[in-house]
A and B are shown apart, each in its own frame.
Chain A
Amino acid sequence: MVLTDRAAFDAHAARVRAEFESYTSDSEWTISVCVSEDSKAKGVLDTFEHLRFRIESGDIEARLRTTGGGGWAWADPSIIVSGPNHPAVLYGNVGSDDVPGLVAALASGHTYDAGLIGAFGESDTLPAVADHPYFKLQTRLLTQNWGMIDPYSIDDYIANDGYAAWIKALFDMTPEEVVDEVKASGVRGRGGAGFPAGIKWESGRRAQARPKFMACNSHEGEPNVYKDRRLIESDPHRILEGIMLGCYGVGAERGYNYVGGEHLLAVERFRHAVNEAYRLGLLGDNILGSGVNCHIRLLTGGGAYICGEGSALMYSVMGERGQPRTKPPRSVEEGLWRRPTVLNNTETLAPVPDIIRNGGAWYASLGTERSTGTKLVSMQGPLARLGVVEVEMGVSLKDILYETYGGMAEGKTLKGVQTGGVSAGPLLPDQLDVAVDFDSLQQYDCMLGSGGFVVFDDSVDAVEFGRYLMDFNRWESCSKCTPCRLGNKALVEVVDRILNGRGQERDMQLIESTAKHVMELSLCGLGQVAPAPLIGMMRCFPEDFEARIDAASEPIEAGEQQRFVIPLAAVGA
């Protein structure tokens, strides 16, 4: 069915809203199974099959559906159940073994206590999800649909105000007004640099050359973060609508999404979303009779981290090796096919539909003055609970670690928290009371980056961790410029010398001076920060380095096995 005008869209929206509301009505049981790449790894599809079997055998009369992941990886496999006298309830860790007990409890009108996390709506008898420590600090704006809607259903999205912003922009707003709202929102780029999106859009809008392009960066190749793929997996249309609004705002008739090729489910769901939007007539030519054309292309990466860098991404889209180039010209002047191209991170585009619907001022009231809105945080490491969480900018990292993530896993002692992915250094345990925003982390020479934090315990040696991060950057260097290609390699070699028990005191200075060269002379953002994590490890944990160097003055015993960390490349078959 193709919708041909605004009235047709409105009628469709009303119809699908009624349908969606029936999922939480109290006349019928609805069981929603949250399927993400993560929950699939934990056997959620088995849970689904067992539920289907029970329903088909008549043990309970219920509607079974799948939704996207909720971000609560620690609780997966998870399901959301609503039904007679039973508000929408989140159950966690529901393995296939739990299914018989769960179904029996529900069929007899009870809750299944083993996995009960809480109720989403009002309930006199059940704990509220919002009071659970995992949810308490969260403000779920970008994640509002996670776990609730079926990512394969455009109608589920529309039923939750989806594409209302697109309709509003097409019919009630000029492109300039769209750009103005994004400017007023103050939303800053979530890809790492924190550049205000509205200003970038305005430059794109003003650029003279035609055609222009909008591009979304969903590459997410850093080793410490998994939020953009979850945004797409759980609510693909939100990202699509954000790109479409960007197209309209800057005056582009074509938008791109570049997704990391290893994010299989995200790629599949985004592709499906684009097809659905075409099918309904929300993409294409003369959309809903508005005279506006908008087309979207999906491209996938090939496992090269550097392709997340803006100019490299564009070369990759154009079928080239992804190697950055010098700037200027910036990509808003000359990007894809040497035309003005506005590039934003997935998470930067995710709130745009809400910003257009509710106004930029509303968004700016969230977060802090200089870092507006909410931030997705993905913490990794030996923590009690893992997952993606969404907080208002400005919340203390310590609170997120100890409340939302539940602190360290049993028996683990915190040693530090690596920040900024592979581009900055770690925080020490006594530095954690710092606000999560773009500026506060800088006082410790740390970075918010993409919001990924790696918590590590005292079993991790800072020399080895520094070496790991250094080696990541060396391996991912595109080899275009010499300081990065050779300097980072040299740095890995010096660390290896220390790890091999042959380090000397002056190696520390050698690292410092080589790092300085690499950072000052490299062409792009990879080389310019590549040694920063290693330098950070040396700054925070000098004792780990010194211990190795002191031990090295003892002679190496003949025949003793040398210990070293294998470089990824060197051991190739």
Chain B
Amino acid sequence: MTRGMAHKSTVEQADLDRLQAHLEEHFQPRDHEEAQELILGALQHVQHEFGWVPLEASQAIADHLGVSVNRIYGLLTFYADFRTEPPGEHFMLLCHGAACFVGGSQKLIHELRDNYGIGQGGTTADGKLTVQIVNGCLGVCDLAPIVQFDHEKYVGNLDVDSFNAAIEEITANGSQREDHGAD
């Protein structure tokens, strides 16, 4: 889908039309069992394109796959990766796996709280940065503690100062990539 949809906090009919077309092309279940297997994938697709999962998109998926939107809401609240609010301009994954913990990721989480006023899932007041704290391991432990910006840029071996510098650098940068990580 096109660039520009990424930061939208509201959803327009054109977006939903594109989503509908995508569902019809790529999410075509052969039976009701397969329809259910496709729900999470369809939601992941939406989050990948929109950066979050708007209610209208959930409804479209529910209608397309023949399940209730309540069930979809149950999934969105269970799986930690899903966001039901639009993210900020930039997106940061903060690894809080064991290696990063041993390397001091707790200090970075404290810094987010004290200096930026945000915690898990939060967005800074200026709307520039959303943080997701990852309980698992990002798999790049030799650079621990590490963060990943906008699903592509890693900054590792962090202490509080370099962490702040990295955030400053990324938020000074206006635009973001058009996609949002895994689909």
Tell whether A and B belong to one assembly: yes
Could you tell me which A residues sit within 8 Å of B by CB distance?
37-38, 40-42, 73-74, 220-226, 229-230, 260-264, 267, 297, 299-305, 316-322, 337, 378, 380-382, 386-387, 418, 452, 454-457, 460, 464-465, 468-469, 472, 475-476, 478, 565-566, 568-573
Asked if B99 contacts A566 (CB within 8 A), the reply is no
Asked if B37 contacts A318 (CB within 8 A), the reply is yes
How many angstroms between the C-alpha atoms of A249 and B79 in the bound complex? 33
- Which B residues between 99 and 136 are near A, CB-CB below 8 angstroms? 99, 101-103, 106, 109-110, 113, 118-123, 133-136
From the candidates B119, B123, B154, name the one contacting A566 in the complex (CB within 8 A): B119
> 30 interchain pairs (CB within 8 A)?
A38-B139, A41-B143, A42-B140, A73-B141, A220-B136, A222-B137, A223-B135, A223-B136, A223-B137, A226-B139, A300-B44, A300-B182, A301-B79, A302-B40, A302-B78, A303-B81, A304-B78, A305-B135, A319-B67, A320-B75, A322-B79, A380-B137, A382-B102, A382-B103, A469-B98, A472-B135, A568-B96, A568-B119, A569-B120, A571-B119
Asked if B135 contacts A380 (CB within 8 A), the reply is no
Q: A321-B74, A464-B106, A573-B123 are in contact. Are A230 and B98 (CB under 8 A)?
A: no
Q: Does B97 contact A (CB under 8 A)?
A: yes
Q: Which residues of chain B are within 8 angstroms of A457 by Cβ–Cβ distance?
A: 102
Asked if A454 contacts B142 (CB within 8 A), the reply is no
Q: Which residues of chain A are within 8 angstroms of B120 by Cβ–Cβ distance?
A: 568-569, 571-572
Asked if B113 contacts A571 (CB within 8 A), the reply is yes
Q: Which residues of chain A are within 8 angstroms of B138 by Cβ–Cβ distance?
A: 262
Q: Which residues of chain B are within 8 angstroms of A264 by Cβ–Cβ distance?
A: 151, 181-182
How many angstroms between the C-alpha atoms of A382 and B98 in the bound complex? 12
Asked if B98 contacts A380 (CB within 8 A), the reply is yes
Q: A297-B37, A305-B135 are in contact. Are A41 and B81 (CB under 8 A)?
A: no
B30 to chain A, nearest CB (A): 11
Q: Which residues of chain A are within 8 angstroms of B25 by Cβ–Cβ distance?
A: none
Residue of B nearest to A454 (CB): B98
Asked if A262 contacts B134 (CB within 8 A), the reply is yes
Q: Which residues of chain B are within 8 angstroms of A454 by Cβ–Cβ distance?
A: 98-99, 102
Asked if B135 contacts A568 (CB within 8 A), the reply is yes
B13 to chain A, nearest CB (A): 27
Asked if A380 contacts B102 (CB within 8 A), the reply is yes
Residue of A nearest to B125 (CB): A573
Residue of B nearest to A455 (CB): B102
Asked if A41 contacts B146 (CB within 8 A), the reply is yes
Q: Which residues of chain B are within 8 angstroms of A263 by Cβ–Cβ distance?
A: 139
Asked if B142 contacts A387 (CB within 8 A), the reply is yes
Asked if B119 contacts A261 (CB within 8 A), the reply is no
Q: A226-B141, A303-B80, A387-B142 are in contact. Are A573 and B110 (CB under 8 A)?
A: no
Asked if B36 contacts A318 (CB within 8 A), the reply is yes
How many angstroms between the C-alpha atoms of A456 and B98 in the bound complex? 10
- Which B residues between 1 and 53 are near A, CB-CB below 8 angstroms? 33, 36-41, 44
Q: Which residues of chain A are within 8 angstroms of B44 by Cβ–Cβ distance?
A: 261, 300, 302
Asked if A337 contacts B110 (CB within 8 A), the reply is no
Asked if B156 contacts A380 (CB within 8 A), the reply is no
B14 to chain A, nearest CB (A): 27
How many angstroms between the C-alpha atoms of A226 and B140 in the bound complex? 8
Asked if A37 contacts B140 (CB within 8 A), the reply is yes
Q: Which residues of chain B are within 8 angstroms of A381 by Cβ–Cβ distance?
A: 99, 102
- Which B residues between 74 and 91 are near A, CB-CB below 8 angstroms? 74-75, 78-82
Residue of A nearest to B106 (CB): A565
A271 to chain B, nearest CB (A): 10
Q: A41-B146, A299-B41, A319-B40 are in contact. Are A262 and B81 (CB under 8 A)?
A: yes
Asked if B143 contacts A262 (CB within 8 A), the reply is no
B84 to chain A, nearest CB (A): 12
Q: Does B57 contact A (CB under 8 A)?
A: no
In this complex, the member of B110, B141, B144, B156 whose beta carbon has the largest number of chain A beta carbons within 10 angstroms is: B141
